[in-house]
Every structure is written in structure tokens, then in C-alpha cells.
């Protein structure tokens, strides 16, 4: 690992790490809140909420079981965790009622975001922890806490704050009161500190990402210092010694396995630290627990504890990252360090994640796996089954990335075992950090054809995860090729045309559109592009204006949305999918040479489209994708509704796109097996063209793209936009799903984003900005 370029890259980024913690938290916030572009903003919220619920349910089930076991088994630490759980329960339930009320109050506004972040982290944790290694207790705790937290939206804060409190107070009945007081004081003092808390927690999470206990410790310490530097100092204040002595919670965290607890503790610590900062007095009483956990610095136990904590944080980081990857790649930067460290765990996590994903949409994102993961992600987003499949599938689909990095990575990943892949991907992606945006772009591009958009970023290769996530879901679920003579190296092949590798679901013969033949694929792509630079560009271009206008019904394709080349139908009357215009859900235009055009979406002659009736039909073919996507989108994003929903309905974007989006969204179940991974087309002009189109007004792809990207980019995008107005960000911002999933405030991600941003021109972003 250390020798790996990725690791080096991460190291180079190391300076940022300290900041990351804070940044990350912010990124989450931004992601959850701001990230979504204007279009997605509202939807994000909704998505997040929904996702929460889903996650909650999922977690609740698993977590509950885990809790029961954990509670019985674990000692102090466990108790603390239990307490935390109780606390959460209290928040919801009257009994302890510590300060749940007050806590909730504070939390409420940010609750969603926090919850999202927490959930994400949780999900990530699950992923990481879930694997066999972790002792049930730890997981149980985390899950429980998570569940509870998720259950009570307000709990986030509580969760963080309470966790420490819990530890401290759990044993002591009065502690709860103290905690409540602390929380209250915190609330009063901190006021909006919850964000800070989040950020802190995020930082912790970042640390957690690293799996290896030792590495984690080291890194964690390092990271902690920078990130939670405040925390460290605080710890002493809190009289960590007492805490440590009193609570061996650290022990509880079985280094690797105990991560769950660690997470909790850490999260609590994060909150505690802040809290402590604010309310040092209270700390002493409750601090014991906290300190024990938090301030292991001096004592060996402390160290171990710290490690555990760190681990926990790391995992969280991973979790965030994971989340981020799935939903928003933004966090990549943050997770980098953690990721690199946690590789081994990741693999396990990923595996676990898969199941989780299935259960939760959260899934983990899993970005983890590159090809597979991406596919899985896509699949997972929609269906758990897919996720599983993806996992099972070694290489799954991969995006074809022109960029050397991406391609190489993809190839490597694809070749690697699923776990390894996931891991590598994660690391790579993280390294790629900026690439995240690219990934989205890639996805978009891939959808349309496009790689081109990402070309710039392709180099960064960050897009992979996103791409994978996005792409796989949509395309995989939706499409498969059945090529027999083209070897899947011609535009006849839908997979190839979509910029994705063929996957198992494909029935193609002599397929060369696989990561193994990456070189061939890329060469062929280049050749085709040389002939037609727009060959891989989306066939349907929407002008943002009309398409999304509220007034228009989704069914009707905006005048702006039209097929790139126009159709040439003669017998189908543009009423069947033979017609690319119809298939794309757009009306025929002057460019069409069709005969007896009866396109429901709009006739060549300019006659008004039939209207809504058409949509269903058009969508039907893609129903799986579209439906899932739509649902997810609708649920998730209100703002986007106009654009997204309409786009989905109206915009007949390529099914791939839809599928991908849906995948990214995570919600949807899957319909179809994962699709080929997207090619990281390097420098295809397409991408650029697409971007331009988007900006200019390419409706279809942009929408989809936006959707895909929404999650991660959003958070970043705003910032980015502010700073650079990178296209990538815009794209990402658009994807509501990710936003939901990862609320990363992630400043660290910001960094990454920034990098990526510059490279991309954010076409979609403009729209988003406008919308915003």
C-alpha cells in the first residue's frame, strides 16, 4: 500500500488531512444542504429524509439484533454504547428523557443533515464493520446508535453529544441529566455548533476510515491532532486519565472489530470535545467515559482506546467516504488517507456493505469496488440484489475511461478481486478526489456517450467511483447488448456506445468491450471519435430552457430537447423505439428526415407533441431505469422535480443514463443486472461537447448527468462554483441521491472538488446555479 502511487498521492495530500476532518464535516453539511444545486436542493432534502427512513429501518433491524448481543456482552464500553443507544431511545422515548428535548431542538434544524451524515457514516460503518471481523457488539452499538439516531432526526447532535454523555452518564442516572444540561449548555453556547460537531465528527470519521489499528492509530493521532487538535487539548482538560481508568471503553473497541464502539465513542468524543470545550465543567463527571475513550494519548490504554476511537473515526471517514462515493464523491479527499489505511477493512466492508446496501439504499457506496463496486453501487442503489451481483461479478462493469489513470485503474480494479477492486477503487477514487466530479461527468458522458466530458478529469480518474456507481446502475440495470458480430466495438453495441464495458448480463459474442481489452476499446473509441467527434455524445440534446420549464409537461419534450442527428424513420412513423427520437423521448425536429412522423413527443413538422400520453410509452422501455430513477429522484429532490422529473419523463435520456442515475440514487431497486462499467473515456471531445451542450442546453444528458452527479457534487459544487464554477461540481451537485447519502461538509472533499472543478467546466452547474 505504502508503495502504491495512490498511497503516495494520499500522503502528498496528507497536509490537507488535518483540515479534512473539519472540511469533511463541512462537506457533508454542504452536501446535504447546499450541495444540491438549485434544482436538487429541495429534492436532496427529501431524498435524505427518505433515505434516512430506509436506512433507519434497515439499521434498526440489524442494529437492534446487534445491540442486544452487544449489550449483554460488553462491559463498560458496551454499557456506554448501550447508554448511548438508550440515550437515543430516550430522545425518542420518554424514560431517560435526558435532554432529548433540548437536544432535539438543537438538532432539529440540522437534523436531517446530521442524520444523513450520521447515517452515511453508519452505513459506511456497517460496510466496514459489518464484515465478519468486527465483533457483533461493536456493530450492534453503532448500528443501534445509528438507527436510533436516524430514527430521531434530531439525534445527530444528541448522538454526538450524547454519546460522550452516555458514556459518562450512562452508568449514572444523574449523568443523563448532566448530559442534558451539557447538551443544553452546548446548545446555548454552541448554538449552531452542531455543524461544528458534525465537522468534528466528520474529522473523526475521516480518521476512522483507516482500518488498520496501528496505522489508524498513527494516522489517527496525526489526523486527530490536526483535525481534532482542539479535541486533543480538550481531552487533557477533561481529565482523560480518570476517564480512561474508569472506562476501558477503548478496550471495548476491539481494535479492529470494536470499531463500532469506537465510532460511537469517537463520534461522541467529537461532540464531547466540542461540548467539553463549551462545557468543560460537565465533562469531568461525564468526561470519564469520554476521556477514557477520547484521551488515550498518554496511557497505553489510552492509546489503544485512541486507536479504537481512531479506528472508529477512520471507519467513519470511510463511511463518509463510502457515502460520499456513492452519493458524493466529494469526500474523496477526506477519505484518502483513511482509505489507504483501511484497505483491508474496506474489502471486508465492501462485502458487508453489499448486504447493507441491499438493505439500505445507503450502501454504501461502495464505491468501494471499482468496477464491481460501481456496478454494485449502481445496482445497490436500486436493488440490493444487483449489488450482490455486482459483488459477485468480479469485474462488473466498468466505465471506460479514456484517461490513463482511470483506465488503468479500472483495468486494474476490474482485474482485481472484487474486494481488492473496491479497495483499489476507493483508494484510487479517493486519490482521484477531484475525479469524483469527473466521475459524474463520465457517467453523464457515458450515458450520452460520453466520455468526452470527463476527459479532462479522466486523468484524475476520480470519476470512477461515481461513474461506476452511476453507470452501472442505470445502464447495467437497463441495458445489455447482444452483439454477435461487432465484438462490441462499434456503435452498434449499446454498451460500447454508452461508454461502458459489457458485463455479464450482456449476451454478446466475442466481446472486446471489456476491461481486459481496454486498449482495444479505447483505441476503437478514438478511431470512431476521429471520424465523428460526437459519436459518443448523447444523441438527445436538450436545451435546458424549454425542457425544464415548469410550464411544460414532462411528457412533452421541450422544443430544445431534440435528437442530435435526427431520425430517419420511414415505417415506424416515429412511434416506436426504432426511432431514436422517440426512444429518447424527444420530438422530431427539422433535423429529422423521417416520413409520416407521428412522434408523440413532437412532430417534425412542428405539430405539438401528443403530450403526456407519449411519455409512458417512451419511458416504458426504460421503465426500470426511469421508474426507479424517477422515484428516487422525485422522492429525493423537490427542486429537481421540475428538471429531473420532467427530464426523466420527458427527457428520454438514454436508458443508461437513467439507470445510472437510478443507481446512483440508490433507491431504486434494480431492475436489471448491473451494466458495464463506464469507460473513462479520456479526452473525448464529447464530454466537453456534452458539457457545452449542457450549459448550452443539452437537456437530456445534462439532466441525467445532473441527477447522477447530484449527490456528491452538490456540496462541492456550490463551493466550487463559488470559487471556480467548475462544471464537475455542477454535475455532481445535481445528483440528489448522493447528496442525500453523503452530507459531507467535507471541506476535504472541497479540496478534491476544487481540483476537479477547475478541470471541468460545469455545464450543469450553470443550470443549477441558475436554478438556485
Partner DNA sequence: GAGTTTGAAACT
Partner DNA sequence: CAGTTTCAAACTC
Q: For the CB of residue 486, give the shortest distance to DNA in the complex, in Å.
A: 3
R_g (Cα) of the chain, nearest Å: 24
Q: Are 263 and 128 spatial neighbours (Cβ–Cβ below 8 Å)?
A: no
Q: Are 549 and 520 spatial neighbours (Cβ–Cβ below 8 Å)?
A: no
Q: For the CB of residue 534, give the shortest distance to DNA in the complex, in Å.
A: 10
Q: Measured from the CB atom, is 300 or 509 closer to DNA?
A: 509
> What 8-state DSSP symbol labels residue 735?
-
Asked if 576 touches DNA (CB under 7 A), the answer is yes
C-beta neighbour count of 94 within 10 angstroms: 10
Single residue of 339, 579, 678, 771 touching DNA by CB under 7 A: 579
Asked if 590 touches DNA (CB under 7 A), the answer is no
E strand or H helix that includes residue 678: strand 678-679
Q: Are 716 and 617 spatial neighbours (Cβ–Cβ below 8 Å)?
A: no
Asked if 569 touches DNA (CB under 7 A), the answer is yes
Asked if 482 touches DNA (CB under 7 A), the answer is yes
Cα separations (Å) of 553 from 630, 645, 674?
15, 10, 31
- Helix %, strand %, coil % for the chain, to 5? 70, 0, 30
Q: Are 293 and 265 spatial neighbours (Cβ–Cβ below 8 Å)?
A: yes
Q: Measured from the CB atom, is 531 or 550 closer to DNA?
A: 531
> What 8-state DSSP symbol labels residue 476?
I
Instruction: Give the whole-angstrom CA distance, residue 219 versus residue 228.
Output: 12
Asked if 568 touches DNA (CB under 7 A), the answer is yes
Asked if 570 touches DNA (CB under 7 A), the answer is yes
Q: Measured from the CB atom, is 250 or 493 closer to DNA?
A: 493
Which H, E and C letters describe 195-206, residue by residue? HHHHHHHHHHHH
Single residue of 1, 388, 491, 516 touching DNA by CB under 7 A: 491
Kindly determine how many residues on this chain lie close enough to bind DNA according to the rule CB under 7 A.
Answer: 35
Q: For the CB of residue 626, give the shortest distance to DNA in the complex, in Å.
A: 13
Q: Are 479 and 769 spatial neighbours (Cβ–Cβ below 8 Å)?
A: no
Instruction: Give the whole-angstrom CA distance, residue 532 versus residue 205.
Output: 47
Single residue of 118, 354, 483, 741 touching DNA by CB under 7 A: 483
Q: Are 390 and 373 spatial neighbours (Cβ–Cβ below 8 Å)?
A: yes
Q: For the CB of residue 530, give the shortest distance to DNA in the complex, in Å.
A: 11
Site for DNA in 188-217 (CB under 7 A): none
Q: Measured from the CB atom, is 1 or 491 closer to DNA?
A: 491
Q: Are 197 and 117 spatial neighbours (Cβ–Cβ below 8 Å)?
A: no
Piece of 15-23, 141-149, 487-495, 514-522 that binds DNA (CB under 7 A)? 487-495
Annotate each residue in 430-469 with x if it binds DNA (CB under 7 A) or - if it does not, as one string: ----------------------------------------
- 3-class state of residue 563 by DSSP: strand
Q: For the CB of residue 728, give the shortest distance to DNA in the complex, in Å.
A: 27
Question: Phi/psi class of residue 141: alpha, beta or left (left: φ > 0; alpha: ψ in -120 to 50)?
Answer: alpha
- The residue written with cell numbers 450543469 in the block is 764
Q: Measured from the CB atom, is 250 or 592 closer to DNA?
A: 592
Q: What value, to the nearest 5°, has the Cα angle with vertex 471 and ends 468 and 474?
A: 140
Instruction: Give the whole-angstrom CA distance, residue 161 versus residue 187.
Output: 10
Q: Measured from the CB atom, is 580 or 767 closer to DNA?
A: 580
Annotate each residue in 503-542 with x if it binds DNA (CB under 7 A) or - if it does not, as one string: -------------------------x--xx--x---x---
Asked if 571 touches DNA (CB under 7 A), the answer is yes
Annotate each residue in 152-191 with x if it binds DNA (CB under 7 A) or - if it does not, as one string: ----------------------------------------
Asked if 492 touches DNA (CB under 7 A), the answer is yes
Site for DNA in 390-429 (CB under 7 A): none
Q: Are 355 and 130 spatial neighbours (Cβ–Cβ below 8 Å)?
A: yes
Single residue of 565, 642, 675, 686 touching DNA by CB under 7 A: 565
Instruction: Give the whole-angstrom CA distance, residue 306 versus residue 253.
Output: 10
- The residue written with cell numbers 462544471 in the block is 727
Q: For the CB of residue 571, give the shortest distance to DNA in the complex, in Å.
A: 4
E strand or H helix that includes residue 183: helix 173-185
Instruction: Give the whole-angstrom CA distance, residue 475 versus residue 685.
Output: 22
Residue 770 C-alpha cell reads as: 441558475
Piece of 276-284, 374-382, 478-486, 541-549 that binds DNA (CB under 7 A)? 478-486
Asked if 493 touches DNA (CB under 7 A), the answer is yes
Q: Measured from the CB atom, is 61 or 613 closer to DNA?
A: 613
- The residue written with cell numbers 423521417 in the block is 594
Single residue of 494, 529, 644, 767 touching DNA by CB under 7 A: 494
Annotate each residue in 619-648 with x if it binds DNA (CB under 7 A) or - if it does not, as one string: --x---------------------------
Furthest CA-CA distance within the chain = 85
Piece of 45-53, 135-143, 208-216, 483-491 that binds DNA (CB under 7 A)? 483-491
Question: Phi/psi class of residue 449: alpha, beta or left (left: φ > 0; alpha: ψ in -120 to 50)?
Answer: left
Q: Measured from the CB atom, is 61 or 595 closer to DNA?
A: 595
Instruction: Give the whole-angstrom CA distance, residue 385 versus residue 398.
Output: 18
Asked if 481 touches DNA (CB under 7 A), the answer is yes
Q: Measured from the CB atom, is 214 or 595 closer to DNA?
A: 595
Q: For the CB of residue 587, give the shortest distance to DNA in the complex, in Å.
A: 14
Piece of 160-168, 171-179, 492-500, 735-743 that binds DNA (CB under 7 A)? 492-500
Piece of 337-345, 545-553, 575-583, 728-736 that binds DNA (CB under 7 A)? 575-583
Q: Minimal CA–CA distance to 563: which of 585, 544, 548, 578?
A: 585
Piece of 202-210, 375-383, 452-460, 476-484 that binds DNA (CB under 7 A)? 476-484
C-beta neighbour count of 665 within 10 angstroms: 40
Q: For the CB of residue 184, give the shortest distance to DNA in the complex, in Å.
A: 60
Q: For the CB of residue 680, give the shortest distance to DNA in the complex, in Å.
A: 19
Annotate each residue in 642-681 with x if it binds DNA (CB under 7 A) or - if it does not, as one string: ----------------------------------------
Q: Are 250 and 306 spatial neighbours (Cβ–Cβ below 8 Å)?
A: yes
Single residue of 11, 108, 578, 723 touching DNA by CB under 7 A: 578
Summarize as ranges the residues that interact with DNA (CB under 7 A): 480-488, 490-494, 497, 528, 531-532, 535, 539, 565, 567-573, 576-580, 583, 621
Amino acid at each position: 500500500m505504502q508503495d502504491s502511487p495512490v498511497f503516495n498521492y494520499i500522503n502528498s495530500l496528507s497536509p490537507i488531512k488535518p483540515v479534512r476532518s473539519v472540511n469533511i464535516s463541512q462537506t457533508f453539511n454542504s452536501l446535504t444542504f447546499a450541495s444540491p444545486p438549485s434544482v436538487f436542493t429541495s429534492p436532496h432534502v427529501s431524498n435524505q429524509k427518505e433515505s434516512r427512513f430506509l436506512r433507519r429501518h434497515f439499521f434498526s433491524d440489524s442494529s437492534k439484533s446487534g445491540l442486544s448481543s452487544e449489550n449483554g456482552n460488553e462491559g463498560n464500553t458496551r454499557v456506554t454504547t448501550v447508554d448511548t443507544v438508550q440515550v437515543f431511545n430516550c430522545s425518542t422515548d420518554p424514560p431517560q428523557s435526558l435532554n432529548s428535548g433540548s437536544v432535539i431542538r438543537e438538532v432539529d434544524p440540522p437534523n436531517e443533515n446530521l442524520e444523513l451524515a450520521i447515517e452515511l457514516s453508519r452505513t459506511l460503518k456497517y460496510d466496514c464493520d459489518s464484515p465478519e471481523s468486527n465483533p457483533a457488539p461493536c456493530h450492534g452499538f453503532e448500528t443501534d446508535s445509528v438507527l436510533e439516531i436516524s430514527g430521531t432526526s434530531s439525534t445527530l447532535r444528541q448522538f454526538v453529544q450524547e454519546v460522550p454523555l452516555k458514556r459518562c452518564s450512562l452508568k449514572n442516572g444523574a449523568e443523563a441529566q448532566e448530559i442534558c444540561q451539557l447538551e443544553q449548555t452546548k446548545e446555548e453556547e454552541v448554538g449552531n455548533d452542531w455543524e461544528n460537531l458534525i465537522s468534528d465528527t466528520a474529522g473523526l470519521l475521516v480518521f476512522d476510515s483507516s482500518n488498520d489499528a496501528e496505522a489508524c492509530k498513527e494516522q489517527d493521532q496525526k489526523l486527530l491532532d490536526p483535525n481534532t487538535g482542539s479535541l486533543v487539548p480538550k481531552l487533557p482538560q477533561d481529565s482523560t486519565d480518570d476517564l480512561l481508568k474508569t472506562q476501558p471503553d477503548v478496550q471495548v473497541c476491539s481494535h479492529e472489530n470494536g470499531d463500532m464502539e469506537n465510532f460511537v465513542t469517537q463520534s461522541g468524543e467529537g461532540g464531547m470535545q466540542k461540548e467539553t470545550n463549551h462545557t468543560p465543567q460537565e465533562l469531568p463527571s461525564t468526561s470519564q467515559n469520554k476521556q477514557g475513550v477520547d484521551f488515550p494519548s498518554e496511557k497505553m490504554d489510552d492509546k489503544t482506546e485512541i486507536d479504537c476511537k481512531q479506528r472508529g473515526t477512520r471507519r467513519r471517514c470511510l463511511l463518509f467516504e463510502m457515502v460520499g462515493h456513492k452519493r458524493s464523491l466529494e469526500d474523496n479527499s477526506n477519505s484518502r488517507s483513511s482509505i489507504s489505511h483501511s484497505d483491508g477493512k474496506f474489502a471486508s466492508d465492501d462485502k458487508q456493505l453489499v448486504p447493507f446496501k441491499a438493505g439500505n439504499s445507503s450502501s454504501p457506496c461502495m464505491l468501494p469496488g471499482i468496477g464491481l463496486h460501481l456496478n454494485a453501487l449502481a445496482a445497490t442503489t436500486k436493488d440490493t440484489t444487483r449489488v450482490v451481483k455486482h459483488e459477485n461479478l468480479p469485474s462488473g462493469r466498468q466505465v471506460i475511461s479514456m484517461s490513463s489513470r482511470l483506465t488503468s485503474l479500472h483495468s486494474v480494479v476490474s482485474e482485481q478481486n472484487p474486494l481488492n477492486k473496491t479497495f483499489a477503487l476507493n483508494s484510487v477514487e479517493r486519490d482521484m478526489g477531484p475525479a469524483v466530479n469527473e466521475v459524474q461527468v463520465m457517467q453523464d458522458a457515458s450515458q450520452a456517450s460520453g466520455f468526452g466530458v470527463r476527459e479532462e478529469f479522466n486523468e484524475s480518474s476520480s470519476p470512477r467511483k461515481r461513474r461506476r456507481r452511476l453507470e452501472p446502475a442505470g445502464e447495467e440495470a437497463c441495458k445489455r447488448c447482444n452483439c454477435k458480430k461487432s465484438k462490441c466495438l462499434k456503435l452498434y453495441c449499446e454498451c460500447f456506445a454508452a461508454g461502458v464495458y459489457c458485463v455479464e448480463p450482456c449476451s454478446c459474442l466475442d466481446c472486446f468491450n471489456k476491461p481486459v481489452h481496454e486498449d482495444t476499446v479505447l483505441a476503437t473509441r478514438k478511431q470512431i471519435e476521429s471520424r465523428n467527434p460526437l459519436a459518443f455524445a448523447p444523441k438527445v440534446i436538450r436545451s435546458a430552457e424549454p425542457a425544464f420549464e415548469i410550464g411544460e409537461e414532462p411528457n412533452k419534450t421541450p422544443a430544445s430537447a431534440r435528437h442530435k442527428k435526427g431520425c430517419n424513420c420511414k415505417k415506424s412513423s416515429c412511434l416506436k423505439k426504432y426511432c431514436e427520437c422517440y426512444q429518447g423521448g424527444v420530438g422530431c425536429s427539422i433535423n429529422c428526415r423521417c416520413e409520416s412522423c407521428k412522434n408523440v413527443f413532437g412532430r417534425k413538422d412542428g405539430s405539438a407533441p401528443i403530450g403526456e400520453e407519449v411519455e409512458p410509452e417512451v419511458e416504458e422501455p426504460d421503465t426500470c431505469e426511469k421508474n426507479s430513477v424517477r422515484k428516487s429522484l422525485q422522492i429525493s429532490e423537490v427542486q429537481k422535480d421540475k428538471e429531473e422529473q420532467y427530464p426523466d419523463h420527458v427527457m428520454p435520456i438514454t436508458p443508461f443514463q437513467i439507470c445510472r442515475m437510478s443507481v446512483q440514487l440508490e433507491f431504486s431497486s434494480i431492475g436489471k443486472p448491473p451494466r458495464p462499467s463506464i469507460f473513462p473515456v479520456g479526452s473525448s471531445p464529447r464530454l466537453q461537447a456534452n458539457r457545452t451542450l449542457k450549459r448550452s442546453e443539452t437537456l437530456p444528458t445534462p439532466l441525467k448527468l445532473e441527477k447522477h452527479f447530484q449527490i456528491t457534487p452538490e456540496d462541492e459544487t456550490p463551493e466550487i462554483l463559488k470559487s471556480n464554477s467548475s462544471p464537475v461540481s455542477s454535475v455532481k451537485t445535481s445528483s440528489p441521491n448522493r447528496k442525500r447519502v453523503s452530507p459531507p461538509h467535507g471541506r476535504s472533499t472541497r479540496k478534491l472538488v476544487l481540483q476537479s472543478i477547475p478541470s471541468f467546466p460545469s455545464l450543469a452547474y450553470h443550470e443549477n446555479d441558475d436554478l438556485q
